[in-house]
Amino acid sequence: QVQLVEHGGGSVQAGGSLRVSCKFSGSVFYMAWFRQAPGKEREGVAATNIITGTIDYADSVKGRFTISRDNAENTLYLQMNSLKPEDTAMYYCAADRRLMSRTNLYLSPTSYTYWGQGTQVTVSS
């Protein structure tokens, strides 16, 4: 059984940095970070194919966010730099075991079966 637990959200001023983490258990092939702001749809932020190492980012965070994984600690990270007020959202860790035939599926919420409870990130201007 796959379990995901996020940590590390908080509040920061624009231009600052935060790192969120996701402790996971169980065997998965894909892991990702999503976010959802009030009144908006859940959107993919960053994702990784654990087997091939392929990574994909949403255009809105490229160059500012970095997804990484510590296999020894079974932990997925999202390092967020140069944060903007529009990055404010609940951030969710997601994982799945099913094969994704195209990279553009990595950031689709429907590609993932397992979800964490979320951690809030608030960026003030």
Q: pLDDT tens-digit profile of 48-84?
A: 999 899 999 999 999 999 999 998 999 999 999 999 9
Query: Over the stretch 5-42, which tens digit does the pLDDT of each residue have?
Result: 999 999 999 999 999 999 999 999 999 999 999 999 99
- The pLDDT assigned to 93 comes to 98
- The pLDDT assigned to 100 comes to 86
Q: Which helix (H) or strand (E) holds 5?
A: strand 3-7
Closest CA to 32 of 89, 76, 83: 76
- The pLDDT assigned to 71 comes to 86
CA–CA gap between residue 6 and residue 93 (Å, rounded): 7
- The pLDDT assigned to 101 comes to 82
5, 22 Cβ separation under 8 angstroms: yes
CA–CA gap between residue 57 and residue 48 (Å, rounded): 9
22, 76 Cβ separation under 8 angstroms: yes
Compute the average pLDDT of residues 95-123. Answer: 93
